[in-house]
Structure formats: structure tokens, C-alpha cells
Amino acid sequence: MATIKKEDCTCPRRKKPTCPHKPYRVTYREPGGRAGKPRQVSFKKLEDAEAFAVKVERDKDLGTYINPKGGQKTFEEVWQEWVQAGTLEESSRRNYQSVYDNHYGPFFGSKPIGGITPTTILEWEADQKERGYKETGINGRKNVLSSVFNYAVAAEFIGRNPCKKANPRRGPGRTMTPVTDEDIPTMEEVLGIIAETPKLIRAGFWAMAGCGLRPGEALALADESMNWERSILTVDHQVSAYGCQEISGYRRGVKRGTKHRTFEQARQTPVPDSIKEVFNDHIDSFGTWGERGWFFESPRLNDRHPSYDWFLDQFKTAARSAGTPQYTPKSLRHFLVAEAIHNGIPLFEIAAWVGHRTTRTTELVYGHLVRRAMERGARTMHNRLGLKLAPFKGLIVPPQLTPVEGDIEDWDDVA
């Protein structure tokens, strides 16, 4: 139980009301019985000490006790703990650091984690809007922010996640931003971008649009990953800016495994005949290199993979030349998924092809495209049934909804 002890100061009685000392000291143990760490908190007034003593014991009974010093940690300290607690790759850590420097650090960095309230979150959102960021991007960054506060709650630094009260209209669990029509290029726009791409790397962009590869995965295309007879590509490597010493001997290069998957969990994706022909033409023109028969080689260094940044620059240049600078390499994956959904391919197959962690990701990002396929579904069944009914007209007798004279007894039995 929490106990209160008064330790009188040496100040004269007439100055005690205004002296800085806190004579009432509350002593208690953290949860865990005798194993709990002893704590002491001092107060100026007896009533404040009594209120704290009651509260701390009640919180221990309810399992909601929070270490008072935990809330004094700055947001930056908790952020660093949260990042280090995960199993992120170096490239992901650097991306998180960039997001922190641009969006979280200037606003939250030096604030105590326990002093951030729902009002603070709303003020941050308003600041993001004033800086010209779109609502979808703000919501995505708020989801990350909420994860940091969830960690702080689990670590008992704070009692509640302030993000959850900052916007009660948000549905639970929605951490993905659905694509819009503006995010998905048309067939003509895809062909326009690829036509402006240098021939040295063009097959990689075809692989993104036709097989749903990510940029790093497209750069790691290799003859050994292709099953030419069955038209299946095994996606098991990626070119990255970090952590590639195992294979390349350099920080930048190729490494085993892809996003969300280790090398042993490699995914497979079908290769259209037209894309397979593109791959063959690329090999005939440029050959392959290395033990795995890599498709793409650095334009400046022999036996080295092209850099990830160079690949992205080639896309940006091609998109601008094609008159569609609004698209990113991810737009080619959006194109593939949209076309697959519109042609009736099940979501679980699409998720496996493009490497989503679960079908939940596919549903959240692309699920609305399935609803647009309802008209196609009705038309398909009409073509299957409606046009075939003419020979049966007059032969199909609809069920009777009212009893005939001979059925009266049966209806009485039912009643």
C-alpha cells in the first residue's frame, strides 16, 4: 500500500506556505508485489499526496498503472525505441528516418510523450495541411504515428493512444490508402512510357507492367529465375541500396529475398508470352552476365548491377517525355492489378503474384475495383443464361403462388 510521510523543512513557519519544499512524500511499489520497484513522489499539499496515493493503488488493481517517469520521455526517444524494436531492413529504417525528419521531428520531437494529447494530434494534422500535403498522405503518416503511440502504451509510457481520440470518424484497422483512377495509367499511357525508356532497361519496365514486379525486383531479373517452358518467373532477388554485401560484396547491389519474403519464401508470377518474347529479345541484344545470368548491367561498371536510383531516374525521364509525369514506377503495378481484377482473376491469386503480405492489402488498396466489375458479372451471366432461354419459352412453368382447388387440404395441413 502507498504510504504518506511528512518530512518538515527548516523554513520558518511564517514562510512555509511559500517555500519551495514538498514535505509530503508518497512511497509505493510498482506492480509486482515485493519484486516491484519502490518509488517516491513528493507533494506540496497533503490533499494532493492523498489523492495520488489512492490513484496509484487503484491503477495497480486495474492494471492501468503507468510509470510517471515514462511519460517524460521525449517523442524522439520513443520513436527511436520503436524503430529499433522492429525487424526492419536498413533501407526501411532510413526511409522512416526521412519521414521523421520531414513530418514528425519538427512538431513532436522534443515534446514529452505523456504531454501529447488528441488536441496536439489535430494541430499536427492542420500543420500538415497548411504545408500543402494531401489528405491521403497525412492519413498514412498518421497511421504510422498511431503505431508509435501504441508502442508507448504497450511499454507503459502512456495510458492511451491520443491518435485514437483525435479523429473518431476513422474506421479501425484501415492502414492502406486505396488507389484512385488517377493512379492507374491506361494501356496507351503504359506503352507511351515504355516507348520512351532506353532499350538497355526497357525489359525491366515491361516486367513491372506485365508481371507486377517492384523496381528492385525488376532490376534483379535473371535467366536462372525464369522457367521458360512453363512461363513462370520466380521472384527471389532484389536490387537495393543497402545490405547487399552477401552477394555483391558492396553495400549497393543485389541480395537474396524480396519485400516481406526471405529467399526461401520466394513467390512465383506468370509471364505473358509477349513479355517472354521481350525477355528473349533483350538477351539476344544485350546478353546476360554473372552466374545467375542477370539481365541488366550497370552502364558504367562491368559486372555490377544498375543502381536503384538510376532506374527510378530513367522512369521519371520516360514519364515526362511521354507527357505523363504524374506516374511513378508503382503505377505500372497498379495497371497490372487493375487489369487482372477487371478480367475476373481472384484477389488471392493477384496478391500472390505481386507479393502482398496478405490478401487484406489487396482488398484495401484495390477492393473498390472489384465492385466496378459487378456490371461485367451481370453481363456475363446474361450472356450465359439470357440469350439461351428463347427455345425454352413456354416450357418453363413458374411456381404457383396460390393453391388450386385440389390442394386445399394440403394447405390446411401446412397452416
Instruction: Write down the pLDDT at residue 173.
Output: 44
DSSP 357: S
Nearest C-alpha neighbor of 341 from the set 362, 319, 316: 362
Contacts of 55 (CB under 8 A, 6+ apart): none
- How confident is the model over 102-148, as pLDDT tens digits? 999 999 989 988 888 888 999 999 999 999 888 888 888 888 898 88
Relative to beta strand 232-235, strand 253-256 is: unpaired
CB contact at 8 A, 306 and 230? no
The pLDDT assigned to 247 comes to 61
If phi over 0 gives left and psi between -120 and 50 gives alpha, with beta otherwise, what is residue 156?
left
Measured CA to CA in angstroms, residue 4 lies from 27, 190, 373, 408 at distances of: 6, 74, 69, 88
Non-local CB neighbours of 136 within 8 Å, separated by 6+ positions: 177
pTM for this entry:
0.56
All domains of the chain in start order, with CATH = 3-65 (no CATH), 72-166 (1.10.150.130), 183-371 (1.10.443.10)
Amino acid found at 184: I
Find the DSSP H helices in 114-227.
118-130, 135-154, 163-166, 187-195, 199-211, 215-219
3-class secondary structure, 269: strand
Which pLDDT band holds residue 88 (cuts at 50, 70, 90)?
low
Task: List the helix and strand counts (H, then E) for the chain.
Answer: 18, 8
In this structure, what C-alpha cell is assigned to residue 80? 527511436
C-beta of residue 274 within 8 angstroms of C-beta of residue 259? no
Q: How confident is the model at residue 326 (pLDDT cuts 50, 70, 90)?
A: very high
Sorted by sequence, the CB contacts under 8 Å of residue 381 that are 6+ apart come out as none
Q: Is the pLDDT of residue 172 over 50?
A: no
Using one digit for the tens of pLDDT, what is the confidence trace for 253-298?
A: 777 777 766 666 789 999 999 999 999 999 999 999 998 999 999 8
Coil, strand or helix at 253:
strand
Query: Which H or E run contains 98?
Result: helix 90-99
CA distance 270 to 287: 23
